[in-house]
C-alpha cells in the first residue's frame, strides 16, 4: 500500500538523487582533481604552492573563510614560467590569494596574469630589474590588502593609480622609482596604516603640495611611515606633524636637521617612536627641552649624541623607554646608570648590563 502511494514520486526522487550526484561531482570531485593537477604542474616547474587557509595566521590575516582552497604561490629565480604554467595560473586566478615573486625574470605575460587575479589579497614582487610593462596595471586587484614592490621598475605611472585599491592597508615601495604623485595617491587611502618609501623620489615639494590640497585629510589612518633616504626634510615637518594617527616615523635624511626635529616634537601630539639617525643630528635645541610628542622610543644612531647627552635626556623625559645610541657612545659607568633608569621604568634594559 505504502509503495503504491510512493510510486508516483519514484521518478522525481530518482532524478533528484542523480542531480545531487552530478552536483557533487561538478562542485567537489572534479575541482579537487583539477586542483591537484594545478598544484602538481606548478611544483614540477619550481613554484611553491600552499593552501593559505591551512595556516591559521595567514588565513585570518587575509580574511579567508571559504570552504574552497585559496592558494599562496611563490616563484623565485629557479621557477620555470612555461606557457602551461601561465595558462594554469590564468585558469585558477580566482582561487589565488597570495603571490610572491622574488628575484624572478618575470615576463610581461606573467605580470599580466597577476594583474587579473581579482581575489588576490597579498602581492609581493622583489628584485627583478626591469621596466614595468606598458598597459599592465593593478587596478583590478580591489581586494588587495598587502602590497610589496621592492627593487622593481615601478614608477609614478603605475603608482598614481594605487588610490583605486580601497583595501590597501600595508604598502612597501622601497627602492622603486615612485615619487610625489604616488605619495599623493596613497594619501587618499583610508585603510592605509603602514607605509615604507625608503630610497624613493618622494620630496618636500610633494608633502607641501599635499598639505595645501588636502586640508588635514591626508593619510587619515597612517600609523607608521619609513621615509629614510628620500628628499623629505625640514620643510615637510608641519605636514608630518599634522598626520592625526602617526605614531612611528623613520626619517634618516640629509635634509632633516636639529631644527626640523625640534619643530616635529613641538607640533606632533601622536608620535611615540622617532628615528632620525644621521650625521647632521646633534640634539642641539631639542634633546634637553620639553616635548609635546609622547616619544617612548628614539633612534639617534650615527649622530653626534654622547652617553652623557642620552642620560640627561632620559632623566628629563620620564616617558622615554628606549634610545638607539651611536656606536660606542657610553662609558661603562653610563651603561650602569642607564640600566638603573630603565629598571626603574620597567623597560627592557638597553644596553645590556655589563
- Tell me the per-residue pLDDT of 81-97, one tens digit each, with 9 for 90 and over: 889 999 999 988 888 98
The answer to the question of residue 223 being in a domain is: no
Q: Is residue 348 part of a domain?
A: yes
For residue range 17-48, list pLDDT tens digits in order: 666 555 544 444 434 444 788 888 888 998 89
Q: Is residue 313 part of a domain?
A: yes
Q: Is residue 296 part of a domain?
A: yes
Residue 56 within any structural domain of the chain = no
- pTM (predicted TM-score): 0.84
Say if residues 227 and 253 touch (Cβ distance below 8 Å): yes
State the pLDDT confidence band at 352, using cuts at 50, 70 and 90. Answer: very low
The answer to whether residue 340 is domain-embedded is yes
Q: Which residue has the higher pLDDT, 181 or 321?
A: 181
* 190 assigned to some structural domain: no
* Structural domain for 349, as ranges: 283-354
Q: What is the number of structural domains in the chain? A: 1
d(CA 353, CA 87): 59
Triad 262, 265, 271: Cα angle to 5°: 150
By CB atoms closer than 10 A (0-12, 13-18, 19+), residue 103 is middle
Tens digits of residue pLDDT in 290-301: 899 999 999 988
Higher pLDDT, 263 or 129: 263
Amino acid at each position: 500500500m505504502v509503495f503504491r502511494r510512493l510510486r508516483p514520486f519514484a521518478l522525481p526522487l530518482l532524478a533528484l538523487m542523480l542531480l545531487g550526484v552530478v552536483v557533487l561531482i561538478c562542485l567537489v570531485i572534479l575541482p579537487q582533481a583539477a586542483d591537484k593537477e594545478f598544484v602538481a604542474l606548478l611544483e614540477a616547474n619550481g613554484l611553491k604552492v600552499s593552501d593559505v587557509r591551512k595556516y591559521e595566521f595567514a588565513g585570518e590575516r587575509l580574511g579567508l573563510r571559504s570552504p574552497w582552497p585559496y592558494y599562496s604561490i611563490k616563484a623565485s629565480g629557479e621557477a620555470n614560467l612555461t606557457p602551461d604554467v601561465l595558462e594554469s595560473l590564468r585558469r585558477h586566478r580566482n582561487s589565488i590569494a597570495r603571490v610572491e615573486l622574488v628575484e624572478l625574470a618575470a615576463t610581461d605575460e606573467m605580470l599580466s596574469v597577476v594583474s587579473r587575479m581579482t581575489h588576490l589579497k597579498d602581492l609581493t614582487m622583489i628584485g627583478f630589474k626591469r621596466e614595468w610593462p606598458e598597459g599592465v596595471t593593478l587596478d583590478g586587484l580591489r581586494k588587495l590588502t598587502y602590497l610589496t614592490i621592492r627593487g622593481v621598475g615601478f614608477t609614478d605611472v603605475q603608482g598614481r593609480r594605487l588610490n583605486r585599491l580601497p583595501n590597501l592597508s600595508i604598502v612597501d615601495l622601497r627602492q622603486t622609482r615612485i615619487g610625489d604623485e604616488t605619495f599623493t595617491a596613497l594619501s587618499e587611502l583610508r585603510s592605509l596604516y603602514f607605509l615604507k618609501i625608503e630610497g624613493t623620489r618622494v620630496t618636500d615639494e610633494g608633502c607641501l603640495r599635499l598639505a595645501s590640497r588636502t586640508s588635514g585629510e591626508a593619510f587619515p589612518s597612517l600609523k607608521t611611515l619609513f621615509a629614510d633616504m628620500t628628499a623629505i626634510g625640514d620643510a615637510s615637518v608641519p605636514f608630518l606633524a599634522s598626520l592625526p594617527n602617526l605614531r612611528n616615523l623613520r626619517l634618516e635624511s640629509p635634509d632633516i636637521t636639529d631644527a626640523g626635529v625640534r619643530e616635529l616634537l613641538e607640533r606632533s601630539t601622536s608620535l611615540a617612536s622617532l628615528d632620525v639617525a644621521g650625521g647632521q643630528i646633534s640634539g642641539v635645541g631639542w634633546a634637553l627641552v620639553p616635548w609635546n610628542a609622547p616619544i617612548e622610543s628614539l633612534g639617534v644612531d650615527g649622530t653626534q649624541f654622547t652617553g652623557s647627552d642620552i642620560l640627561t635626556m632620559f632623566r628629563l623625559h620620564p616617558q622615554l623607554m628606549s634610545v638607539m645610541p651611536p656606536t660606542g657612545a657610553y662609558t661603562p659607568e653610563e651603561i650602569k646608570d642607564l640600566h638603573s633608569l630603565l629598571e626603574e621604568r620597567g623597560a627592557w634594559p638597553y644596553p645590556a648590563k655589563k
